[in-house]
């Protein structure tokens, strides 16, 4: 009976995340993006379109703000009032930050977006009723809604183009919210292989599409639980911790020599994506 279940496992049901006394068990997928390496070339974004069956909406709908890119490259200009942007632009690849305390998850009325045991924010398309509350509550605005039925919209996927669609990823119909999944289909496949061989997924065995495409290797992705993984080492070196909301870099006055940070930590979302500051030479 569920009430017995409720009472028996009470302490388990009363645990929150992220906490140090109940860490992730096997996997905690996370990312590190080196902004000094990112050149803003958009290869990751196109890779994401290819991997995840993202519709190309066309000019008119793009203009209406209905674009679907799960991974967008943002371009910021330094605001110091110079005549020229003589320190270049600042690029930032932005996708779902897979927050540990994701504001989108609590507000979904249907429970279509949840936190998986691997520490990823899941989005179950066929459970989605389209209330868009998750998007309303997302501070990064990285959730994308199917405003139209793109599969049946002209020139989104003409018959020939449908052959390109990835069978491991649902094609979303109208009225469904979608977002970056950290390429869950690739994680699932890698975990499947690993289980066949009775081991855990090795570092580098699963790559996200964006990571795979990135010509400068600016993106690293892996299992934070595995201390030997590149991403765990990067996080450790930058002294960025999942369950902290102020990282070493910002903890002290004047900062440290580190450059790892997460965006909008003050909102206590505990994102799984760490960014490394862009660097500019001071001698020129």
Partner 1 sequence: MIENGFNRRDFLKVLGWGGAVVALSGCGNTSVQDGAEIVTSYVEPPEYALPGIGVYFNSTCAQCDAGCSITGRVREGRVLKLEGNASSAINRGKLCGLGQAGVQAHYNPDRVREPLLRNGDKGEAITWDKALGLINEKLNGVKGDEIAFLTGAVSGHVKVLLKNYLEALGSKNHYAYDAVAPSVVRAANKKAYGVEMPRLRLDKAQVVVSFGADFLGAWVSPVHFSQEYAQFRKGSDGARGVLVQIESKMTLTGANADRWIAIRPGTEGILALGVINALDAAGLSLPADVAAVSKAYNAERVSKDTGVSAEQISKLATLLKARTPSLVIAGGAAEGYKHGSQNAAAIALLNRVLGNIGKTIEAPANVPFPQVAVTTGNRSSVQALNDSMANGKLKVLFSYGVNPVFTAPAALKFQDNLKKVSFKVVFANYLDETALAADLVLPLDSALEDWGTAVPEYLVEAAQLNIQQPLMEKLHAGTRGTGDILLALLKQRRANEYKDYEDFYSYLRSAVVKNKSALGGAGADDDTFWGETLSEGLVKLPASNGALSAKSSAAGLVLPAPAEEDSAYPLHLIPAVTANLRDGRHANQPWLQESPDPLTTIVWDSWVELHPKTAAKLGIVEGDIVEVTSRSGSVKAQAYLFPGIHPDAVSIPLGNGHTALGRWAKGVGINAFSLLDQVVDKDTGELALNETRVKIGKTGKRVMIVKDEGAAGGSQAGKKIAVSASTDEVELSGEV
Partner 2 sequence: MHRFLCLSILLVGLFANTGSHATEVPPSISTADDLGPKVEQPIEFPHDRHAGPRNPADAADPSVPAKGGMEINCMYCHTGARRSAVAAIPPLQKCVGCHQTINSVRETPRIQKLFEYWDAKKPVPWKKVHDLPDFVRFNHERHIQRFVFAQNKPVQEACGYCHGDVKTMTVARRQKSLSMGWCVSCHEKDHPVDVAATKTTHGPNDCWQCHK
Partner 3 sequence: MEKDISESIAWAKINGDVLKSLEAPRKLYWVILVAALTLFGVGLGCEVYQYQIGMGVANLNNPHVWGLYIATFIFWIGMSHSGTLLSAILHLMHADWRKPIYRFAEAMTTFSLMTAGLFVMVHLGRLWQFYYSVPYPNERGLWPNFQSPLLWDAMAIFTYLSSSVIFLFIGMIPDLAICRDHLHEGWRKKLYTILSLGWEGTDRQWRNFRVTYLTVACFLIPLAVSVHSIVASDFAMSQQPGWHVTSFPPYFVAGALYSGCAAIITLFIILRYVFRFEEYMTLPILKKVARLTFAISMVWTYLNAIEFAAVWYSHDQAAKDVLLQKAMGPYAPFWWMMIFCGSVVPLMLAVKRFQTNIPVLFAVSLLLNLGMWLERWMIVAPTFSHGYYPWTWDGFQWPSWVQWGMVFGSFGWFTLLFMLFCKIFPSVSMYEVKEMVYHRSLASKKNELAEKGAH
* Residues 89-128, interacting with partner 1 (CB under 8 A): 89-92, 125-126, 128
Query: Residue 16 binds which one of partner 1, partner 2, partner 3, none, with CB within 5 to 8 A depending on kind?
Result: none
Residue 66 to residues 60, 63, 158, Cα–Cα distance (Å): 9, 7, 20
Q: How many residues bind partner 3 (CB under 8 A)?
A: 42
- Please tell me the distance from the alpha carbon of residue 112 to that of residue 115, in angstroms, as a whole number: 10
Residue 130 interacts with partner 2 (CB under 8 A)?
Answer: no
* Residues 10-49, interacting with partner 3 (CB under 8 A): none
Residue 2 interacts with partner 2 (CB under 8 A)?
Answer: yes
Q: Which one, 29 or 145, has the nearer CB to partner 3? A: 145
- Closest C-alpha among 78, 99, 83, 115 to residue 31: 99
Quickly tell me which residue has 């929150």 as its tokens. 16
* Residues 160-189, interacting with partner 2 (CB under 8 A): 168-171, 181, 184-185, 188
Determine which residue in the list 90, 122, 137, 153 makes contact with partner 2, applying CB under 8 A: 122
CB neighbour list of residue 75: distance below 8 Å, 6 or more residues apart:
40, 89, 90, 91, 92
Query: Residue 281 binds which one of partner 1, partner 2, partner 3, none, with CB within 5 to 8 A depending on kind?
Result: partner 1
Residue 252 interacts with partner 1 (CB under 8 A)?
Answer: no
Q: How many residues bind partner 2 (CB under 8 A)?
A: 23
Stretch near partner 1 under the rule CB under 8 A, chosen from 7-15, 20-28, 95-103, 144-152: 144-152
Three-point CA angle 143, 147, 96, nearest 5°: 10
CB of residue 139 vs partner 3: minimum separation in angstroms? 4
CB of residue 12 vs partner 1: minimum separation in angstroms? 31
Query: Residue 23 binds which one of partner 2, partner 3, partner 1, none, with CB within 5 to 8 A depending on kind?
Result: none
Stretch near partner 3 under the rule CB under 8 A, chosen from 122-130, 218-226, 234-242, 274-282: 122-130
- Please tell me the distance from the alpha carbon of residue 164 to that of residue 79, in angstroms, as a whole number: 42
* Residues 149-178, interacting with partner 1 (CB under 8 A): 149, 151-152, 155, 157-167, 169-173, 176
- Please tell me the distance from the alpha carbon of residue 17 to that of residue 228, in angstroms, as a whole number: 23
Q: What are phi and psi of 232, to 5 degrees?
A: -65, -40
194-231 core/surface letters (b: 16 or more CB in 10 A; e: else): beeeeebbebebbbbbbbbbbeeebbbbbbbbbeebbb
| Binding string, residues 137-176; x marks residues near partner 3 by CB under 8 A | x-xxx-xxxxxxx------------------------xxx
Query: Residue 133 binds which one of partner 2, partner 1, partner 3, none, with CB within 5 to 8 A depending on kind?
Result: partner 3
> Which segments of 153-252 does DSSP mark as H helices, in order?
184-196, 209-213, 230-237, 248-251
Residue 128 interacts with partner 3 (CB under 8 A)?
Answer: yes
Query: Residue 130 binds which one of partner 3, partner 1, partner 2, none, with CB within 5 to 8 A depending on kind?
Result: partner 3
Count CB neighbours of 56 within 10 A: 16
- Please tell me the distance from the alpha carbon of residue 241 to that of residue 247, in angstroms, as a whole number: 7
- Please tell me the distance from the alpha carbon of residue 96 to that of residue 114, in angstroms, as a whole number: 13
Q: Which one, 26 or 76, has the nearer CB to partner 3? A: 76
- Please tell me the distance from the alpha carbon of residue 109 to that of residue 245, in angstroms, as a whole number: 27
């Amino acid at each position: 009976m569920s009430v017995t279940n409720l009472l028996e496992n009470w302490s388990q049901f009363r645990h929150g995340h992220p906490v140090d006394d109940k860490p992730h068990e096997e996997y905690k997928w996370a990312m590190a993006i080196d902004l000094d390496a990112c050149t803003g070339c958009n290869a990751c974004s196109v890779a994401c379109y290819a991997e995840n069956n993202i519709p190309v909406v066309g000019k008119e709908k793009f203009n209406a703000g209905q674009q679907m890119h799960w991974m967008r490259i943002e371009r910021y200009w330094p605001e110091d009032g110079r005549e020229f942007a003589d320190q270049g632009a600042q690029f930032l690849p932005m996708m779902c930050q897979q927050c540990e305390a994701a504001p989108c998850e609590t507000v979904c009325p249907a429970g279509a977006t949840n936190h998986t045991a691997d520490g990823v924010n899941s989005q179950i398309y066929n459970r989605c009723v389209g209330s868009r509350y998750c998007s309303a509550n997302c501070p990064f605005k990285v959730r994308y809604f199917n405003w139209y039925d793109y599969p049946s919209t002209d020139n989104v996927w003409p018959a020939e183009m449908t052959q390109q669609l990835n069978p491991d990823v649902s094609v979303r119909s109208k009225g469904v919210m979608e977002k970056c999944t950290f390429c869950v289909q690739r994680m699932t496949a890698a975990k499947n292989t690993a289980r066949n061989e009775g081991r855990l997924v090795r570092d580098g065995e699963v790559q996200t599409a964006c990571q795979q495409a990135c010509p400068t290797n600016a993106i690293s992705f892996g299992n934070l639980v595995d201390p030997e993984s590149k991403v765990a080492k990067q996080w450790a070196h930058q002294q960025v911790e999942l369950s902290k909301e102020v990282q070493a870099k910002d903890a002290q006055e004047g900062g440290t020599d580190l450059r790892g940070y997460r965006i909008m930590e003050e909102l206590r979302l505990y994102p799984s994506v760490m960014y490394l500051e862009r660097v500019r030479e001071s001698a020129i």
